[in-house]
């Protein structure tokens, strides 16, 4: 049904279509479809946008408009194998969150928002992660890292290095 399909796999299509009955419009599948692709590829290339648009009977510009509004989605290249969001909002900032972010980036040799050259990790500043009871905190993959210190940050970076050889 999608002409010249290059990015969306059969599995991705099946996962998107399994959600279709939940919504009365096809456009409502935009965010779920973007997530399906992003979960798999760690970015949503423009070709995927065109294919999602075709799948959902939308103009590619409509899907692209939605994608670019949410800064969550990478497009030009994938984020690192691990994506770490370090909170910089007020409750974490009051307890050293920004210092932890700087420390992590310095140790990893990157600036906030960048990915290491080996592609192992992307470190991003984030707004409130909703875990202010554990400030300063970081969300890396599905793991919430609580009450961060420079020592815990170092241990985290080491574990990322070990996982990815």
Partner 1 sequence: MITSDTFEPVLLEAAGIDDGHTIESYRSRGGYAPLEKLLSEKQPPEVVEMVKSSGLRGRGGAGFMTGLKWTFLPKDHPGPIYLCVNADESEPGTFNNRILMEDDPHQVLEGTIISAYATRASTAYIYLRYEYPKSWDILQKAIDEAYAAGFLGENIKGSGFSLDIYLHRGAAAYICGEETGLIESLEGKRAWPRIKPPFPAIEGVFRKPTVVNNIETMACVAQIARRGVDWFRSIGIPADPNNPRDPGSYGPKLYCLSGHVEKPGCYEAPLGITARELIDRFGGGVWKGRRAKAVIPGGISMGLMTEDELDTPLDFSGPGTVGCLGLGTAAVVVVDETVSIVDFLHNSCRFFAHESCGQCTPCREGTSWSLRMLERIRAGKGRLRDLDLLAEIGDTMGMMPGSTICGLADGAAWPIKNSIAKFRDEFEDYIKQTNPTGYMETDPVPALPIVTTH
**Interface segment toward partner 1; rule CB under 8 A; list 4-12, 67-75, 115-123, 149-157:** 67-75
Collect all residues with Cβ–Cβ distance below 8 Å to 21 and sequence separation of at least 6. none
Using the rule CB under 8 A, give the single segment among 6-14, 76-84, 90-98, 157-165 that binds partner 1: 90-98
Query: Which of 8, 73, 115, 157 is close enough to bind partner 1 by CB under 8 A?
Result: 73
Residue with smaller CB distance to partner 1, 4 or 142:
142
CB of 156 to partner 1, least distance (A): 17
Report the alpha-carbon distance of residue 30 to residue 54 in Å, rounded: 11
Interior/surface letters 85-122, b for 16+ CB within 10 angstroms, e for the rest:
bbbbbebbeebbbbebbebbbeebebeeebbbeeebbb
- Residue 71 engages partner 1 in binding (rule: CB under 8 A): yes
Q: CA 70, CA 21: separation in Å to the nearest integer?
A: 24
Interface residues with partner 1 (CB under 8 A)? 22-25, 27-32, 34-35, 56, 62, 65-66, 69-73, 85, 88-91, 93-95, 113, 126-135, 139, 142, 144
């Amino acid at each position: 049904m999608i002409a010249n399909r290059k990015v969306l796999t059969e599995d991705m299509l099946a996962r998107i279509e399994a959600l279709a009955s939940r919504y009365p419009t096809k456009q409502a599948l935009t965010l779920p479809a973007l997530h399906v692709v992003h979960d798999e590829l760690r970015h949503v290339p423009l070709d995927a946008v065109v294919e999602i648009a075709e799948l959902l009977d939308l103009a590619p510009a409509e899907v692209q408009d939605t994608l670019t509004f949410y800064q969550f989605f990478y497009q030009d290249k994938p984020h690192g194998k691990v994506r770490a969001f370090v909170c910089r909002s007020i409750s974490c900032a009051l307890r050293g969150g920004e210092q932890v972010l700087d420390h992590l980036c310095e140790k990893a040799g990157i600036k906030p928002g960048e990915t290491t050259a080996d592609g192992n990790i992307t470190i991003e500043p984030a707004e409130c992660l909703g875990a202010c009871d554990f400030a300063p905190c970081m969300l890396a993959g599905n793991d919430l890292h609580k009450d961060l210190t420079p020592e815990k940050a170092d241990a985290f970076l080491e574990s990322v290095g070990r996982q990815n050889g």
